[in-house]
């Protein structure tokens, strides 16, 4: 499984959306189930599955799939272009 597929399956599992609906632009403003509560669950799940830990102040900066990828990138997790 690529990192891209892995992230998509995590977002799908936590937010309850189909994997095919998960794209980089998906964000807390347009996804119904991406509320503040699920945001914490999502960030925690990404940490658990990728084995990383985000600095706490970054948590509020990760409110879209693209932004999560950027934060993971900053911790050395590569995504194919």
Partner 1 sequence: MTASTPHPPPSHADAIRILDGVADDPTQVALASAYRQFDALADAIPHTSLRLAVLSTFTTAPLIPAIRLAAIRAGIRADVWNAPFGQVAPTLINPQSGLDAFTPDVTLVVTRLADIVPSLYDGAGATSTPIAHAIADYLNQLSAAIGAFRQRSQSTLLIQNFERPDYVVAGLAETEAAGGQIDLWRSANERLGEIAAEAGNCCVMQYDALVARHGASSWIDPRTELFGRIPVAPRRYWDYAGFIRRYLQPLAGRTRKVIVLDADNTLWGGILGDDGPDGIKLGHDFPGNAFTRFQRRLLALQQRGIILCVASKNEPGSVERVIETHPDMVLRPEHFASMRVSWAPKPDAVREIAATLNLNTDSFVFIDDSAVECAMMRETLPEVLTVHLPDDPARYPSVIASLDCFDQYTLSEEDRRRGAMYKAEADRQRLASTTVDLPTFYRGLEMRLSIRVNDERAVSRIAQMTQRTNQFNMNTIRCTEGDILAWMRSGDHDVVTLSLSDRFGDSGVVGLAVIRKSHRQWTLHMMLMSCRVLGRTVESTFIRWIATRADAAGVSVLAGAFTLTQKNRPFSDFYGQCGFSPPSPDTNDSLWVLKVESADTTIPDWFDIESDAVA
Binding site for partner 1 (CB under 8 A): 9-10, 13-14, 16, 18-20, 36-37, 40-42, 44-45, 48-49, 56, 59
> Which lies closer to partner 1 via its Cβ, residue 44 or residue 78?
44
In three-state secondary structure terms, 64 is strand
Burial 63-78 (b: 16+ CB within 10 A, else e): bbbeebbebbeeeebe
* Tokens linked to 36: 């503040």
> Which lies closer to partner 1 via its Cβ, residue 10 or residue 65?
10
> Which lies closer to partner 1 via its Cβ, residue 19 or residue 74?
19
């Amino acid at each position: 499984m690529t990192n891209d597929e892995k992230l998509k399956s995590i977002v799908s599992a936590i937010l309850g959306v189909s994997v095919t609906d998960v794209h980089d632009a998906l964000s807390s403003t347009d996804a119904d189930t991406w509320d503040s509560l699920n945001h914490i669950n999502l960030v925690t799940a990404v940490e658990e599955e990728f084995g990383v830990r985000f600095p706490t102040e970054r948590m509020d900066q990760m409110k879209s799939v693209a932004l999560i990828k950027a934060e993971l990138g900053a911790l050395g997790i590569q995504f194919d272009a």
